Amino acid sequence: MNVKPDEERKTMRMKLKLNSKEYDKLKRCTQESGLRSMSEYIFNSIIATPIIEITDVELAPDKARLKEISDRINSIALQVNQTGNIYPEDMQEIRQGVEEISARLAEYQAKLERFAVTPQTFRAIVDKAHEDVRK
Protein backbone atom coordinates (compact mmCIF):
# COMPACT_ATOMS: atom_id res chain seq x y z
CA MET A 1 0.00 0.00 0.00
CA ASN A 2 1.44 3.32 -1.05
CA VAL A 3 0.85 6.21 1.31
CA LYS A 4 1.13 9.69 -0.10
CA PRO A 5 3.00 12.20 2.10
CA ASP A 6 -0.14 14.28 2.71
CA GLU A 7 -2.01 11.16 3.91
CA GLU A 8 0.61 10.14 6.46
CA ARG A 9 -0.77 12.35 9.18
CA LYS A 10 -4.43 12.80 9.90
CA THR A 11 -5.51 15.88 11.77
CA MET A 12 -8.03 15.37 14.52
CA ARG A 13 -9.55 18.02 16.73
CA MET A 14 -10.22 17.74 20.41
CA LYS A 15 -11.97 20.15 22.75
CA LEU A 16 -10.37 20.99 26.06
CA LYS A 17 -12.21 23.00 28.68
CA LEU A 18 -10.06 24.94 31.12
CA ASN A 19 -10.77 27.63 33.64
CA SER A 20 -8.59 30.74 33.51
CA LYS A 21 -6.18 29.44 36.16
CA GLU A 22 -5.71 26.15 34.30
CA TYR A 23 -5.27 27.99 30.99
CA ASP A 24 -2.62 30.27 32.51
CA LYS A 25 -0.76 27.25 33.86
CA LEU A 26 -0.92 25.49 30.49
CA LYS A 27 0.35 28.63 28.77
CA ARG A 28 3.23 28.99 31.27
CA CYS A 29 4.19 25.32 30.97
CA THR A 30 4.14 25.57 27.17
CA GLN A 31 6.46 28.57 27.26
CA GLU A 32 8.81 26.90 29.76
CA SER A 33 8.94 23.73 27.68
CA GLY A 34 10.28 25.54 24.65
CA LEU A 35 7.69 23.92 22.39
CA ARG A 36 6.02 25.98 19.69
CA SER A 37 2.35 25.60 20.66
CA MET A 38 -0.01 24.44 23.36
CA SER A 39 -1.13 21.64 21.05
CA GLU A 40 2.43 20.42 20.75
CA TYR A 41 2.88 20.69 24.53
CA ILE A 42 -0.34 18.75 25.23
CA PHE A 43 0.55 16.06 22.70
CA ASN A 44 4.03 15.64 24.13
CA SER A 45 2.67 15.62 27.67
CA ILE A 46 0.42 12.72 26.75
CA ILE A 47 3.36 10.87 25.20
CA ALA A 48 5.61 11.60 28.20
CA THR A 49 3.11 10.56 30.87
CA PRO A 50 3.98 7.18 32.32
CA ILE A 51 1.17 4.69 32.76
CA ILE A 52 1.17 3.36 36.30
CA GLU A 53 -0.69 0.16 37.01
CA ILE A 54 -1.37 -0.96 40.54
CA THR A 55 -3.15 -4.26 40.94
CA ASP A 56 -5.77 -5.15 43.52
CA VAL A 57 -3.34 -7.76 44.84
CA GLU A 58 -0.87 -4.99 45.69
CA LEU A 59 -3.55 -2.83 47.27
CA ALA A 60 -5.39 -5.60 49.16
CA PRO A 61 -3.45 -5.37 52.46
CA ASP A 62 -3.82 -1.58 52.62
CA LYS A 63 -7.48 -1.71 51.63
CA ALA A 64 -8.17 -4.28 54.36
CA ARG A 65 -6.37 -2.22 57.00
CA LEU A 66 -8.10 1.01 55.97
CA LYS A 67 -11.45 -0.80 56.14
CA GLU A 68 -10.65 -1.99 59.68
CA ILE A 69 -9.83 1.57 60.74
CA SER A 70 -12.93 3.07 59.13
CA ASP A 71 -15.19 0.35 60.58
CA ARG A 72 -13.83 1.02 64.06
CA ILE A 73 -14.27 4.79 63.72
CA ASN A 74 -17.83 4.23 62.49
CA SER A 75 -18.62 2.00 65.44
CA ILE A 76 -17.30 4.67 67.82
CA ALA A 77 -19.45 7.26 66.03
CA LEU A 78 -22.52 5.04 66.41
CA GLN A 79 -21.79 4.59 70.11
CA VAL A 80 -21.40 8.36 70.59
CA ASN A 81 -24.65 9.03 68.72
CA GLN A 82 -26.54 6.46 70.84
CA THR A 83 -25.13 7.35 74.26
CA GLY A 84 -24.00 10.93 73.87
CA ASN A 85 -20.70 9.93 75.51
CA ILE A 86 -17.23 9.75 74.05
CA TYR A 87 -14.36 8.34 76.02
CA PRO A 88 -10.69 9.38 75.98
CA GLU A 89 -9.72 5.89 74.75
CA ASP A 90 -12.07 6.25 71.81
CA MET A 91 -10.64 9.66 70.93
CA GLN A 92 -7.13 8.19 71.09
CA GLU A 93 -8.16 5.31 68.84
CA ILE A 94 -9.67 7.74 66.32
CA ARG A 95 -6.49 9.89 66.36
CA GLN A 96 -4.30 6.82 65.81
CA GLY A 97 -6.53 5.63 62.96
CA VAL A 98 -6.47 9.02 61.26
CA GLU A 99 -2.68 9.23 61.68
CA GLU A 100 -2.25 5.76 60.16
CA ILE A 101 -4.49 6.67 57.22
CA SER A 102 -2.54 9.91 56.71
CA ALA A 103 0.78 8.04 56.82
CA ARG A 104 -0.37 5.49 54.23
CA LEU A 105 -1.67 8.24 51.95
CA ALA A 106 1.67 10.07 52.28
CA GLU A 107 3.47 6.86 51.26
CA TYR A 108 1.32 6.57 48.13
CA GLN A 109 1.86 10.24 47.33
CA ALA A 110 5.63 9.81 47.68
CA LYS A 111 5.52 6.81 45.34
CA LEU A 112 3.55 8.79 42.76
CA GLU A 113 5.87 11.79 43.03
CA ARG A 114 8.76 9.57 41.98
CA PHE A 115 7.00 9.32 38.63
CA ALA A 116 6.63 13.10 38.32
CA VAL A 117 8.21 14.47 35.19
CA THR A 118 10.50 17.47 35.64
CA PRO A 119 10.86 20.01 32.82
CA GLN A 120 14.30 18.57 31.99
CA THR A 121 13.01 15.00 31.96
CA PHE A 122 10.02 16.12 29.91
CA ARG A 123 12.30 17.68 27.31
CA ALA A 124 14.40 14.49 27.12
CA ILE A 125 11.27 12.34 26.73
CA VAL A 126 9.91 14.64 24.04
CA ASP A 127 13.20 14.54 22.14
CA LYS A 128 13.28 10.74 22.38
CA ALA A 129 9.64 10.46 21.22
CA HIS A 130 10.36 12.70 18.23
CA GLU A 131 13.43 10.64 17.43
CA ASP A 132 11.38 7.43 17.58
CA VAL A 133 8.70 8.89 15.32
CA ARG A 134 11.30 9.88 12.73
CA LYS A 135 12.67 6.32 12.56
Check: pTM over 0.85? Answer yes or no: no
Q: Where are the domains of the chain?
A: 18-49+118-135, 54-116
| 44 burial type by CB count under 10 A (0-12 exposed, 13-18 middle, 19+ buried) | buried
pLDDT in tens, the chain (135 residues): 444 555 556 777 888 899 999 999 889 888 887 888 898 888 888 877 777 777 888 889 999 999 999 999 999 999 999 999 999 999 999 999 999 999 999 988 888 777 766 666 667 777 776 666 565
Residues 11-40: b if buried by 16+ CB within 10 A, e if exposed: eeeeeeeeeeeeeeebeebbeebebeebee
| Chain centroid offset of residue 44 CA | 17
